[in-house]
Structure 1
Amino acid sequence: MTVNRTDTATARPPRRRTGRAPWEEPPTPLGLLGKGVVLGLLVAAVLVPLWAVLVTSLASRETIDAAGGMVMLPREIDPSAYVTIFNGGQITRAVGISTLVTVLGTTVSLVLTVLAAYGLSRPGSVGHRGLLFFFLLTFLIFPGLVPSYLVVTGLGLKDSIWSLILPSAISVFNLVVIRAFFMNVPGELLDSARIDGAGEWRILTRIMLPLSKAVIAVVGLFYAVGYWNAYFNSVLYIDDNDKFPIQRVLQSYILAGQSPNVSGASVSLPGVTAYPPTLAVKMAVVVVTVVPALIVYPFVQRHFTKGVITGAVKG
């Protein structure tokens, strides 16, 4: 006798290969958890030191003595360190000098970089290849500290604000980025402007600059942060303590271990310590040094990715 068996189970279709790389596949729950843990640790590694610096700068002498150093948990707010450093003296002058160097240096650098990038982006410009090779050569060859020092001192820039600006006025990397963006502008647009009677200066100011707001904002941020954070030029060229930028003062306080030289150290405010602790003053200087970059960055952050990608990738 033959028994007919009906197989109701359906065979599974073979698994289709998507042809995508493993890193292009959707992440697994375990992978998402691992990414979250890693990102959380990275954020904590950045925020915890900043939090400790901020809290310590606002801590009283008793709180710092009880913690034995850096403070993590605030007990009371004591702004005497900030009142002290902004009550006149070296730190107040240093903040003003750094602000002047940053504003003036960023303006000079942007003007020179934009003009050089526009000239080098025009294939028919005079000395195009030679000047471009000259700029790119600085990527490979650096003259050294002694020749740079001799040039600065020979030009009479020693102990001058210009010694903090002119030696680093043009960054070749930023010049290449802006030049690449200018070369991406359609030539037909420039030809039509020339037919209408526009000269090179009008083309630059009326066409190129409005189209390159994003990349110029990013390059301006690079220059501003570079000037604000720079201190090595001041070590080489500035001998007068009254002309030290804030980074040089910070280096003297934190790394060299010098005592803060501030005037008006006695603070007479309700609930404020008469003489702020040295550690609180040092941390207040660190906060004053970091805050300006944190304030400026959000205003250009929306242009950051677009500006860098547009200026760096051709096509």
Structure 2
Amino acid sequence: MPFSLAPAEVEPPEAEPVPLHEAYRACEEIARAHYENFPVASRFLPTDRRIALAAIYAFARQADDIADAQAPSEDRLRALDAIEAALLRAVDGAPQGAIFTALADAVERHRLPVEPFLDLLHAFRMDARDATFPTWDDLLAYCRGSANPVGRLVLALHNVEDPEAVRASDAVCTALQLTNFWQDLGQDLARGRLFFPLEDLNHFAVDPKELTRPSSRAALSRLLTHECRATRDLFARGAPVVRATPLLLSIHLRATIAGGLAILRATERLGWRVLERRPKLSGPARAGIAIRALIGLDG
């Protein structure tokens, strides 16, 4: 379903207030529908933190959908400006709509910083401008805004401030974002987006305009293998975060990392076929991840 650039959450001031429990329930529904790891990983969190995380995810999902909408860039940027204005109104005590009602409560209840939300919007504005990434470092810089703020908010929810934990969280969040890019290659191409660094496309002799042609399949598979291995290195770099966080968050993070690695392995196995089939976790795979996370096993 195409996403409207006049989202229901950016409501006029006279809109009826949304009861808090309904607002959180709506956010959880969004999180479950759009984040494959959320139903598995979030079950290990205390209820107050789980619903706060759902509000964070719902906000990010809404803004991301706007950035990716099939609409002119200027319309998407204008809608993101409206989202930012609604965010600032919400944290100032005047939330409108379910997502911002829940988010305002989460920010106040858990004393969350506002800056990570603004960092997310900055990255989504890059999406709205259909940015490309000349180098791997440029892509990582984008992920610092599009993914890492979510991890920092998760740590803030649990009062984790250790710099090593933050750095490890950043690596995991970047790895999860990259995994999503490789997993969604076919869908992104269909809407005119490509997240491979241009230097890597050149190195593997992959012409973006020829990406879907049979003649590009072997080179595309080699390129995906390269990107998946680099992404796996980031997961490894971030693995210590599970030892630097409270027990329930550690279990949540184990499940999140394991789910990301499972998707990454499936993507690498598919190679060029990821253009035709988006890898996803099966029910038994999700159950296995949950069990392994609970007993303290990784991957």
Q: Calculate the TM-score normalised by the size of structure 1.
A: 0.29
Question: Which protein is richer in helix relative to its size?
Answer: 2
> Which structure would you say has the larger Rg?
1
**TM score, norm. by length of structure 2:** 0.30
Task: Tell me which of the two structures has the higher relative contact order, counting C-alpha pairs closer than 8 angstroms and 6 or more residues apart.
Answer: 1
